[in-house]
Amino acid sequence: MTKIGYDEVKPVTAPQGKIPPAIDRSLQGAPGSKPNEEVQPQKQDDAPTASQPAQPTGKEQPASDTPDYKADLIDYDNQINILKKAQANYASANETEEQRKKREKREKSKRVIAAVGDGIRALSNLYFTSQYAPNMYNPDDTQLAKVDARQEKLKAEREANRDKYLKYSLRIGDLQNDRAKTVREMEAQAEKLRLAREKADREQEEHKWLADLQPDKKREQTAKANAADSVAKTKQIEADNADAIQKAKLKTEQERGKTERTKQNVNRATAKLRGAQTVESGAKAANQRAGATAHYAAARASDRSNVSEFSAYDSKGREHKFRTKEAADAYAKQHGTFKEENKTEKTTTTSKARGRTTSKTSTKTSSGGGYSQNPKKKFSSFSIHK
């Protein structure tokens, strides 16, 4: 069955095969407009058609000084809604794979049933003809031919509906693209107007600030002029009193020199006093050390009978007595009979690197003093064998 409805619902402003009328793109921006906000199409319960005009929504828009650019998009929305409703009448032309298989199965079943009916009809005609009845068989008037003709008609209708559905889809896509383009142009224009308005506001505010700053600038210029006048007066006064100022500076420098010389004299006197105190302290310490030494010497003399207890040998082996070890060592070194004693210290250091342990031994030799040795007894412990 052919579905008819396109001629009844097609829009007056967008006839089939023609581009919709151009929309006026000269827009004016509003102060509260938001160009980046997505424009939502108005929802309508019933789309206007050629036979049914658009019904008022019953909601009045508030009055505004600038026109609402969203109203310019209603024409696109109406056309898209009309085409979508007309397209829905041909949606059955888009069969799914399952629907196509079921339809082909039904068509095949109908053709089989028609062929069986034609066969039975031919056999019955053959039987009655054999009984001398008239031949009623007509090869052009068969059930299979009727079924095939009906299926071809339905196939042509499906293809026509599919073509119409595709045309509606392309038409709707073109209108949606045009609508989106119009929205972008509107938003761009509104953005330009917004930027221009903001620039004008900034310039106006800048002019206001400059006007408010004029008194401050005047005061600043007056202060600079007064400061320059004060500097000039100060320089004039300095020039008029240059001789007196120079004499005062010279007198100040002389007084400063006297003060420095007085400080130097005081420092020298203080240094001399400290030197005298140091010498006096050194003399007292020397007297104390001398008294202590004499006291220690008297104590040692009273404790033992042999006062000269340290011995040293000369180069001929003669022994000499001395009161202190330092004197005995000095005498032995002078005659070459002093024998030094050395101390040896061994230090072992262990280190571990890359899994290997390494030991390092260092030997340090230092002087540990010495004593005087009789040169005659050096070789007493050696024997010579011929």
* Encoded amino acid at 351, one letter: S
- Measured N-to-C along each axis, helices 143-240 and 74-88 cross at an angle, to the nearest 10 degrees, of 160
Report CA-CA distances (Å) from 271 to 261, 262, 265, 267, 353: 15, 14, 10, 6, 62
The rounded distance, in Å, linking the Cα atoms of 140 and 146 is: 10
Please tell me the pTM assigned to this model: 0.30
- Whether 176 and 15 have beta carbons less than 8 Å apart is answered as no
DSSP 18-41: SPPPPPP------TT--TTSPPPP
- Break the chain down into helix, strand, coil percent, rounded to 5: 60, 10, 30
Label the pairing between strands 310-313 and 319-322.
Answer: antiparallel
Give how far the C-alpha of residue 82 lies from the chain's centroid of Cα atoms, to the nearest Å: 52
CB atoms inside a 10 Å sphere around CB 282: 10
At residue 286, what is the residue type? Answer: A
Sequential DSSP letters for 298-327: HHHHHH-S-S--EEEE-TTS-EEEESSHHH
Specify the pLDDT at position 298.
Answer: 61
pLDDT score of 294:
67
- Ranges of residues in the chain with a pLDDT under 70 are 1-72, 291-292, 294-308, 355, 367-368, 377-386
**pLDDT at residue 203, as a whole number:** 93
Report pLDDT for 191. Answer: 93
